[in-house]
Amino acid sequence: EQFKSYYLASPLRREKVKLAQAFHLFAEKNAAAQTAEALPEKHVESATKRNGSGWFSRLEAFSTRRLVWQWGMAFAVLALLIAGSWLVFENRRGRQQMSQKEPRRDVPVQRAAEQQKEIERQNATNLAIEKERERMLAEQERLEQQRAAGQRQQQPSPPTRAGVATFIVTTPLTAQMRGVGQLATISIPAKTDAVAMQLELEPNDFSAYRVSLLNQSGAQTLWRSGKLKARAAGDSQTLSITFRADLLKPQIYVVRVSGVPTNGASEILGDYSFRVVK
């Protein structure tokens, strides 16, 4: 009864019920006409009652099938809505993942570009430092050249020297030769600064020598050399000495050569006498 009242509450459903009743009455009339001849009247009445209860059962079965179909459609629509929502959600999530992956793909490229820029900046900095260092070195060299030029200008010019008078004395004079007048005569030009002599030595066993410049009597030493080494000249040896020209005046001088042993005192090897004229 509740179902009937619920079902018949709708005008559309009531129209459907009327249509079904009319169709059912038409079917009952046809059935009654066919069975009227074979069945008695009471059977006709009982059949009518049974047909009335069958109509309600058919109506209930029809309504039940319609409800099942409606609920099935509702579930289908709900499933479609859920599937569509899921597809929309998955599509949006896929797009988000793709948008997140794209920056990740660009990270190595951006990092390489940043590293290349950093290398270029470092190279430019090194080049600027190298240019600045070269500029400072060039400036320092220029200042040193200017300072050296200024020092050369401030230094006094060395005195002009007329030159060196060079003489060769070949043989030492013995006591007998000095009396005979065997003296070498040397002429010293004016403005001569130094006198150079080459003394030929007689054979000896010394490897070092000293030379002294004495006055004619030999009592005064005017100049003394340090240790000298002889230089080979053919079969003989020579000593080279140089002393100031202002030590000599127009008179006789003696150059004394002494051998210096490894141990012990020096030994006089010979005197070289000469006369100075100007």
pLDDT digits (tens, 9 = 90+) for 240-250: 999 999 999 99
For residue 259, what pLDDT is reported?
A: 94
Q: Which parts of the chain have pLDDT scores under 50? A: 39, 41-45, 47-50, 156-162, 174-180
Query: Given this model, what pLDDT does residue 65 score?
Result: 63
Domain 164-277 - what CATH class? mainly beta
| Gyration radius of the chain's alpha carbons | 74
What's residue 37's pLDDT? Answer: 52
| CB 226 within 8 Å of CB 264 | no
Domain ranges of the chain: 1-155, 164-277
Distance, C-alpha 25 to centroid of its chain: 108
Structure confidence at residue 180 (pLDDT): 40
**CA pair distance 15, 234, nearest whole angstrom:** 162
In three-state form (DSSP H/G/I as H, E/B as E, the rest C), the secondary structure along the chain is CHHHHHHCCCHHHHHHHHHHHHHHHHHHHHHHHHHCCCCCHHHHHHHHHHHHHHHHHHHHHHHHHHHHHHHHHHHHHHHHHHHHHHHHHHHHHHHHHHHHHHHHHHHHHHHHHHHHHHHHHHHHHHHHHHHHHHHHHHHHHHHHHHHHHHHHHHCCCCCCCCCEEEEEECCCECHHHHHHCCCEEEECCCCCCEEEEEEEECCCCCCEEEEEEECCCCCCEEEECCCECCEEECCEEEEEEEEEHHHCCCCEEEEEEEEECCCCCCEEEEEEEEEEEC
Confidence at residue 194, expressed as pLDDT on a 0 to 100 scale: 92
